[in-house]
A and B are shown apart, each in its own frame.
Chain A
Amino acid sequence: MGYNAKFRVWRGMNEDGELHDFEVDVNEGEVVLDVIHRIQATQAQDLAVRWNCKAGKCGSCSAEINGRPRLMCMTRMNTFDESETVTVTPLRAFPVIRDLVTDVSFNYQKAREVPSFTPPPGLKPGEYRMQQIDVERSQEFRKCIECFLCQDTCHVIRDHEENKPVFAGPRFFIRIAELDMHPLDTLERKRSAQEEHGLGYCNITKCCTEVCPEGIHITDNAIIPMKERVVDTKYDPAFGLFRVLRARSKSKVVMNEQAERAWSLLRSVEDGDVEYATVADQVADAMQQAKAVASTGTVLARLEALDHVEAGRLDQAAEEARVSLSWHRSAQERSDAWVTLARVYDSQERATATVEAVENARRFWPDNPRLRQFAGEDHHP
């Protein structure tokens, strides 16, 4: 079970450090942090390393393992070959204090630059009312354990010290997105993300999402939604380019056309004009073409939700409808998502939930033609 592993660990101060070789015992079930601790206890008492919870919850033991930003406590030794040399180095985007410990004060500075949660004036403690579905969007970002691996891997600052003053980094983009999506926050966030926190520097390479140990969809759920909404009012060079590239390869027009085609087919099913089975192939074809050119899956969530309902896949329908709610800010799209949810609840014979969903749909768009199907069940005075 146990074996002797080869480790190379960075030791020293900022400029004058070097990799030191260690041979050290490894036991079954251990993680890299265990091995670093064994080196500390037996070979290098003063080896500097940060850690706390040892369970992936505090985000202290961030480092680069074989060049990849990782939490040492969540990197199991059995992911390496026994003959492999494991190299552990400090986070590259931040100045080294000593050994594996870096100066991450940049992040605390940036945290102070994001205006805090600002609830509506006059709302008293205990009076806050929010729906679960509405808090879940922000809750995803509040899972962040501040390990700063996303900051470390972000190439805007990783090797570009000069960008640091104007760029908050992925960790704080999700902080801004969290506040932007907080049901009771009252400040404008999107424009300031662009103008004050350097959102425009991000060109959506998704490196941050890949290294996030909490699995937060930093790019898809925070950065892109903010960019999409900000791009209408202000030119974002990176996102502009991103859109141009997309347009050149297939053209966004295709997506809109095909999405519209699928939507009207599904609507005629919903209105009872045709059977789903007779148009299912055409819908699938249109959706496939739309997806092939969509920037992310989420822009088609409204469509997918309706497709799932018609096909009888209720759980997926609910899931996509909720994605749609969290993605779309236009009243009509949100209303549509609620109608779809109402259909799910109706199929599940959940009367109260159905009525609530219908009411929500009506609140966003009183004249939504899709609401007609619920006319008979409208208990609203």
Chain B
Amino acid sequence: MTDLERHSYDVVVIGAGGAGLRAAIEARRQGKRTAIICKSLFGKAHTVMAEGGIAASMGNVNSKDSWQVHFRDTMRGGKFLNHWRMAELHAKEAPQRVWELETWGALFERTPDGRISQRNFGGHEYPRLAHVGDRTGLELIRTLQQKIVSLQQEDEQEFGDPEARLRVFAECTMTEILKDGERVAGAFGYWRESGRFVVFDAPAVVLATGGIGKSFKVTSNSWEYTGDGHALALKAGGSLVNMEFIQFHPTGMVWPPSVKGILVTESVRGDGGVLKNAGGQRFMFDYVPDVFRTKYANDEAEGDRWYTDPDNNRRPPELLPRDEVARAIISEVKAGRGSPHGGVFLDVASRLPAETIRKKLPSMYHQFKELAGVDITTEAMEVGPTCHYVMGGVEVEPDTGAAVGVPGLFAAGEVAGGMHGSNRLGGNSLSDLLVFGRRAGAGAAGYLDQLGSDRPGVGGSDIDRAADEAVAPFAGDGTENPYTIHTELQMTMNDMVGIIRRREEMEDALEQLAALKSRAAGVTVEGHRQFNPGWHLALDLENMLLVSECVARAALMREESRGGHTREDYPLMDAGWRQVNLICRAEGDQVSVDKQPLPIMPTELLELFDRDELDKYMNEDELTALPEGGA
């Protein structure tokens, strides 16, 4: 290991999407030398795929909006399982984070009086999403990327070296968090390009690796989404919360097969698009659950009026939270009322003029034209649910993003859990990245200040062990191909731990996962270490298997249906389970799941809700404990 490349930083941020970049900007602004590690090229992270917008209660379009209303919508969307403190911080700070982007050059769509325009979205009571057409994620990541460049330009002026305090390590993958006793000491990984190993000495590591979608066959996620951060945290002694909650976005493309799963933005519905079954019926009116009954239109006429007169009408049920819409689509397809390729129809063509569609939804127009040969200004789209987002993630302290139980480890964005409860509202992801990215960066900086000169050190034997594990796939003498195992894993998770879950299937899935795990140990890759996708997949596969097991075990344990977890054998929401978080930990190869009480929401936040509404979520004991008259 004498020729090992080694770097020393204050903070290492793993992941270069919205959360990672925002965390890095914050750490660097607080004077910390910061490294950003990205699995892809700089600026390509999955954040670019976000389409609809950034939720922030700026009140530019409807001045009735406020952080309290946003908080309430977020808790409702998550079916009251969210960590209240995260939802509170998120709702309060999102507007500042959006305005800050403007000072860094972002150009959002405008209101007639020149402020940032805001659009309607599922589950949000008022128009709330700052957006740029349907490419808001690209705007966000490009703005953060350009802010990083500007910080580097400052450093060049001051130190003659643009990378003096902030450096991007592109196409670099981390395989292990290195520790010194209980504390984080750095990270180990490899350059994708050369296959050479690299060690970072750093007392603070921020995980911002995104989600786990690549464990599912039909997904909107790219190859990067292999649960790396979830697995790194588990292996470092951290815990994961809410892993059973996975969001299946109701509208992914279903045809042609090669693009199955690619996202069709919710803005299509926010801007007027409606869902129809094969009989041409707007079926969503049949699927409004009781908890939302008073908030949604009763008939098409009212729903249609809402777009122009939201104060006197209720919104159409196409804009229910994503879990509700996804389940409704599945039910229609199962009942034989689906579209030719097994989805339903999303119709915007008959609702808006062609010119407006092209202006408001340019990427969707382009995507369907190029990939499916469908002109969405004249024809309906065929859509169906696709694995989109994991609500679960690293258990963190809300204010600092510090991972519970691992000093020096932080997490932000999709890889962190708690914020979204059992279901995330559209638009709350980009704001989550910014709010908690900044907080994790600040948390890491604060941790370093506390640490002073008492820095942990990386042990040589740990590096050797990490390197041996990383090259193991080359040394195998088996015949297992990583692509084959990956495909089987995706089928297992998709079919047996997917949108609708059953005990027997999940038990089978766990057996299959165990079998895949032992087969994966014998994976053998061809070629050498230089830019070798087979090897990269073999290493990612280990993370996917570990995280998939967490999902399946937690899903098996939670005997109720809530948000992104639907049990056919327990179809109802259970107030008892609302008080429970499921916490996954890993000891060596063994995954364990434990129940843990949900943090209790303070009275002043509870008072934001009507008693009638709380009745739907809480049990007798909780309700009687509420202060009289208050909530």
**Interfacial residues, chain A to chain B (CB-CB below 8 A):** 27-31, 34, 40-41, 45-60, 74, 76, 97-99, 101, 104, 108, 111-112, 115-117, 119, 123, 125-126, 128-132, 135, 138-139, 142-146, 179, 182, 185
CA distance A90 to B369 in the complex (A): 26
- Asked if A58 contacts B44 (CB within 8 A), the reply is yes
- Asked if B258 contacts A30 (CB within 8 A), the reply is yes
Known: A40-B483, A56-B367, A76-B371. 7 other contacts (CB 8 A): A27-B258, A45-B527, A53-B49, A56-B370, A57-B138, A97-B530, A142-B138
- Asked if B525 contacts A31 (CB within 8 A), the reply is no
Q: 13 A-B contacts, Cβ less than 8 Å apart? A: A45-B482, A46-B525, A46-B528, A46-B532, A48-B530, A54-B222, A57-B363, A60-B44, A116-B146, A125-B99, A126-B99, A135-B110, A142-B139
Contact flag A142-B526 (CB < 8 Å), given A29-B259, A52-B223, A76-B371? no
Residues of A within 8 A of B102 (CB): 125, 128
B41 at the binding interface (Cβ < 8 Å): yes
CA distance A57 to B265 in the complex (A): 13
- Asked if B42 contacts A131 (CB within 8 A), the reply is no
CA distance A112 to B366 in the complex (A): 31
Quick one: which of A27, A47, A59, A143 contacts B135, CB cutoff 8 A? A143
- Asked if B114 contacts A130 (CB within 8 A), the reply is yes
Measured between C-beta atoms, what is the minimum distance from A315 to chain B in Å?
8
- Asked if B256 contacts A30 (CB within 8 A), the reply is yes
Quick one: which of A55, A132, A179 contacts B109, CB cutoff 8 A? A132
B535 at the binding interface (Cβ < 8 Å): yes
Residues of A within 8 A of B363 (CB): 57
CA distance A185 to B363 in the complex (A): 27
B66 at the binding interface (Cβ < 8 Å): no
Quick one: which of B43, B104, B138, B483 contacts A41, CB cutoff 8 A? B483
CA distance A129 to B115 in the complex (A): 5
B500 at the binding interface (Cβ < 8 Å): no
B69 at the binding interface (Cβ < 8 Å): no
Contact flag A97-B531 (CB < 8 Å), given A45-B526, A117-B104, A142-B139? yes
In the A-B complex, list the 3 residue pairs whose CB atoms are closest, starting with the nearest.
A29-B256, A46-B527, A117-B105
Quick one: which of B146, B152, B367 contacts A117, CB cutoff 8 A? B146
B107 at the binding interface (Cβ < 8 Å): yes
CA distance A41 to B102 in the complex (A): 44
CA distance A98 to B152 in the complex (A): 29
CA distance A119 to B143 in the complex (A): 14
CA distance A51 to B531 in the complex (A): 13
CA distance A119 to B487 in the complex (A): 50
**Interfacial residues, chain B to chain A (CB-CB below 8 A):** 40-44, 46, 48-49, 58, 95-96, 99-100, 102-105, 107-110, 112-115, 117, 132-133, 135, 138-139, 142, 146-147, 149-150, 152-153, 156, 162, 170, 193, 222-224, 255-259, 262-263, 363, 366-367, 370-372, 481-483, 525-528, 530-535
CA distance A204 to B472 in the complex (A): 53
Quick one: which of B44, B133, B135, B255 contacts A29, CB cutoff 8 A? B255
Residues of B within 8 A of A58 (CB): 40, 44, 48-49, 222
Quick one: which of B40, B170, B531 contacts A48, CB cutoff 8 A? B531
- Asked if B46 contacts A29 (CB within 8 A), the reply is no
Measured between C-beta atoms, what is the minimum distance from B74 to chain A in Å?
22
- Asked if B193 contacts A97 (CB within 8 A), the reply is yes
- Asked if A129 contacts B483 (CB within 8 A), the reply is no
- Asked if A57 contacts B49 (CB within 8 A), the reply is yes
- Asked if B534 contacts A57 (CB within 8 A), the reply is no
Main secondary structure of the interface of A (DSSP, over half): loop
Residues of B within 8 A of A182 (CB): 105, 107
Contact flag A57-B48 (CB < 8 Å), given A112-B149, A135-B107? yes
Residues of B within 8 A of A54 (CB): 222, 259, 262
Residues of B within 8 A of A132 (CB): 109-110, 112, 117
Measured between C-beta atoms, what is the minimum distance from A89 to chain B in Å?
16
Residues of B within 8 A of A53 (CB): 46, 48-49, 222
Contact flag A34-B42 (CB < 8 Å), given A29-B372, A49-B533, A182-B105? no
Residues of B within 8 A of A57 (CB): 48-49, 135, 138, 363
Residues of A within 8 A of B41 (CB): 50, 60, 104
Contact flag A52-B531 (CB < 8 Å), given A126-B99, A129-B113? no
Residues of A within 8 A of B112 (CB): 132
- Asked if B100 contacts A125 (CB within 8 A), the reply is yes
- Asked if B258 contacts A52 (CB within 8 A), the reply is no
Measured between C-beta atoms, what is the minimum distance from B475 to chain A in Å?
16
Residues of B within 8 A of A123 (CB): 103
Measured between C-beta atoms, what is the minimum distance from B292 to chain A in Å?
31
Measured between C-beta atoms, what is the minimum distance from A54 to chain B in Å?
7
Measured between C-beta atoms, what is the minimum distance from A95 to chain B in Å?
12
CA distance A132 to B132 in the complex (A): 11
Residues of A within 8 A of B531 (CB): 48, 97-99, 101
Closest to B221 in A: A53
- Asked if A51 contacts B258 (CB within 8 A), the reply is no
CA distance A73 to B256 in the complex (A): 13
Residues of A within 8 A of B108 (CB): 135
CA distance A185 to B105 in the complex (A): 9
Residues of B within 8 A of A145 (CB): 48, 138
Residues of B within 8 A of A101 (CB): 193, 531
CA distance A123 to B103 in the complex (A): 9
Measured between C-beta atoms, what is the minimum distance from A162 to chain B in Å?
24
CA distance A40 to B262 in the complex (A): 21
CA distance A267 to B229 in the complex (A): 66
Measured between C-beta atoms, what is the minimum distance from A145 to chain B in Å?
7
CA distance A101 to B532 in the complex (A): 11
CA distance A74 to B224 in the complex (A): 19
CA distance A98 to B535 in the complex (A): 15
Quick one: which of B104, B257, B372, B535 contacts A27, CB cutoff 8 A? B257
Measured between C-beta atoms, what is the minimum distance from A292 to chain B in Å?
29
Closest to B538 in A: A45
Closest to B367 in A: A55
CA distance A99 to B525 in the complex (A): 17
- Asked if B370 contacts A116 (CB within 8 A), the reply is no
Residues of A within 8 A of B115 (CB): 129
- Asked if B533 contacts A111 (CB within 8 A), the reply is no
- Asked if B525 contacts A131 (CB within 8 A), the reply is no
CA distance A282 to B44 in the complex (A): 53
CA distance A108 to B147 in the complex (A): 14
Residues of A within 8 A of B366 (CB): 56
CA distance A112 to B41 in the complex (A): 15
- Asked if A52 contacts B46 (CB within 8 A), the reply is yes
- Asked if B49 contacts A55 (CB within 8 A), the reply is yes
Residues of A within 8 A of B113 (CB): 129
Contact flag A46-B110 (CB < 8 Å), given A52-B46, A97-B193, A117-B104? no
Measured between C-beta atoms, what is the minimum distance from A139 to chain B in Å?
5
- Asked if B48 contacts A112 (CB within 8 A), the reply is no
Residues of A within 8 A of B483 (CB): 40-41, 45
CA distance A115 to B105 in the complex (A): 12
CA distance A208 to B138 in the complex (A): 21
Closest to A73 in B: B371
Residues of B within 8 A of A98 (CB): 193, 530-531
CA distance A354 to B105 in the complex (A): 30
Which of A29, A40, A45, A135: most chain B CB closer than 10 A?
Answer: A45
Residues of A within 8 A of B110 (CB): 130-132, 135
Residues of B within 8 A of A128 (CB): 99, 102-103
- Asked if B44 contacts A116 (CB within 8 A), the reply is no
CA distance A117 to B145 in the complex (A): 12
Residues of A within 8 A of B156 (CB): 112
Residues of B within 8 A of A126 (CB): 58, 95-96, 99
CA distance A58 to B17 in the complex (A): 12
Measured between C-beta atoms, what is the minimum distance from A141 to chain B in Å?
10
Measured between C-beta atoms, what is the minimum distance from B111 to chain A in Å?
8
Quick one: which of A45, A97, A116, A138 contacts B107, CB cutoff 8 A? A138
Measured between C-beta atoms, what is the minimum distance from B124 to chain A in Å?
20
CA distance A330 to B423 in the complex (A): 53
CA distance A245 to B117 in the complex (A): 46
Closest to A71 in B: B370
